[in-house]
Structure 1
Amino acid sequence: MRSSTSSSAATSEPTTHAVNLQVREDIRDLIDRAARSQGRSRSDFMIDAARRATEEAFLDQTLVRVDRQTYEHFLAVLDQPPEGEGFERLSLVERDQRRAGPQQQI
């Protein structure tokens, strides 16, 4: 389907488009229950969920561009052995946890 709502110059509302999905009945019912629990329509609920999932997917794929000199410095830092007060404290905590053995969860 093409556009379900046309953009109007007077209202400046964005054009919307239909998206048709085939979904199992049990999943549709689950979506409907969740949407009703928030007082929202199925469409509004699904659009918001899809938008959030899309943002999450992009956030997981951060790309940082640097010049060669900066990249080489970054690699050199990664190749250095861990050091410093923070690393030493972390090492002590990990050592103590290993000595204590597995913890029982209540």
Structure 2
Amino acid sequence: MTHKPNTDAPATRQPVHIRLPEEARALIDRAARVRGKNRTDFMIEASVAAAEDTLLDQTLIKVDAQTYRHFLDVLDQPPSSEAFARLMNAPKPWAP
């Protein structure tokens, strides 16, 4: 769920005023330049992504007892496919 700021309609934007430590502002400006964005668009994109992540982490899924039991049973079964075995035996790039 990535939200792209609507830069075509500045009249619909509402101002938000924040005070940043100089170091934080410099870091944000540097990252915005790397992404080819201005500070405002970079901060909107980063803030919206953080807000979405926060809300998605709070999502509650309700199911009946039978569905939940089935879910737990599936989690308790170890994977046994050939593809999974290959994956587990593949060289790890972080291991020497």
TM-score (norm 2): 0.59
Aligned to 2:69: 76
Runs of 4+ in 1 over 6 A off after TM superposition: none
Whether 1:30 aligns to 2:27 is yes
Say which structure, 1 or 2, has more relative contact order (CA 8 Å, 6+ apart): 2
Q: Which has the larger radius of gyration?
A: 1
1:89 to 60, 63, 80: 80
| Structural RMSD (CA) | 3.1
- Corresponding residue for 1:63? 60
Q: How many equivalent pairs are there?
A: 77
Residues 79 and 40 of structure 1, relative CA distance in 2, 3 Å threshold: closer
What is the TM-score when the length of structure 1 is the normalising length?
A: 0.54
Percentage identity across paired residues of the two chains? 37
